[in-house]
Amino acid sequence: MEDPRASSQNQPADLHRAVHLHWDLISLHKQCANRLLCAHNIHTGQQSLLFMLKHMGACNQKELARALHISPATIAISLKRLERSGLVRRVPDQQDLRSNRIELTQAGVESADFAEKVIDQITERSFKDFSAAEFEQLICLLSRMASNLRVFRDYLQKKEESPCDK
């Protein structure tokens, strides 16, 4: 059953065009990031792990997965790759010696800083030649879309337990 608050009225005739442009934008952003990051041995998706570890500091795999809204199993492969690359290390948790904490190495901190500069460069290019009014309008539209999706996500979470939640 569909969310009763969802409305098909006032939908633009070219809704599919807008959706495809949105996906194209995401794809182009990813392609540019991959091209610039691979030179520093940072692979797809790893920058989010590096950013989060830099922000959170040392944490365990479960905490990191929760912060990134992904499963610990999904994160495991990326962490192994980052560890082999010398960007992260596992250290014993002083409060729970059965557990390890993951932290950035100095090379990991430098890679996180580099990745942040790459994302800033791509962002600058994305908004090149936007007027202040256009930028403000975009922020309003994106905020409204995010709000709509948060309401829908909350509705889905309350509706029934998903097998994905287990």
Residues 92 and 37 in one domain: yes
Which SS3 state, helix, strand or coil, does residue 101 take? strand
Q: pTM to 2 decimals?
A: 0.78
Q: Is residue 115 part of a domain?
A: yes
Chain-centroid distance of CA 44 in Å reads 11
CA angle 149, 31, 106 (to 5 degrees): 95
* Residues 142, 22: Cα–Cα separation, whole Å: 11
Residues 46 and 63 in one domain: yes
Quote the tokens at residue 152: 């829908």
Q: Is residue 15 part of a domain?
A: no
Q: Is residue 109 part of a domain?
A: yes
Q: Is residue 13 part of a domain?
A: no
Residues 86 and 117 in one domain: yes
Instruction: Give residue 45's pLDDT.
Output: 84
- Taking the CA atoms of residue 19, residue 117, residue 69 and residue 97 in that order, the dihedral angle to the nearest 10 degrees is 170
With a cut of 90, say whether residue 163 has pLDDT above it: no
Q: Is residue 4 part of a domain?
A: no
Quote the tokens at residue 31: 């392609």
Residues 150 and 94 in one domain: no
Domain that holds residue 138: 130-161
Residues 88 and 122 in one domain: yes
Predicted confidence (pLDDT) per residue in 82-130, tens digit: 999 999 999 998 888 888 999 999 999 999 999 999 999 999 999 999 9
* Residues 14, 22: Cα–Cα separation, whole Å: 13
Predicted confidence (pLDDT) per residue in 7-53, tens digit: 555 577 788 899 999 999 999 999 999 999 998 889 888 999 999 99
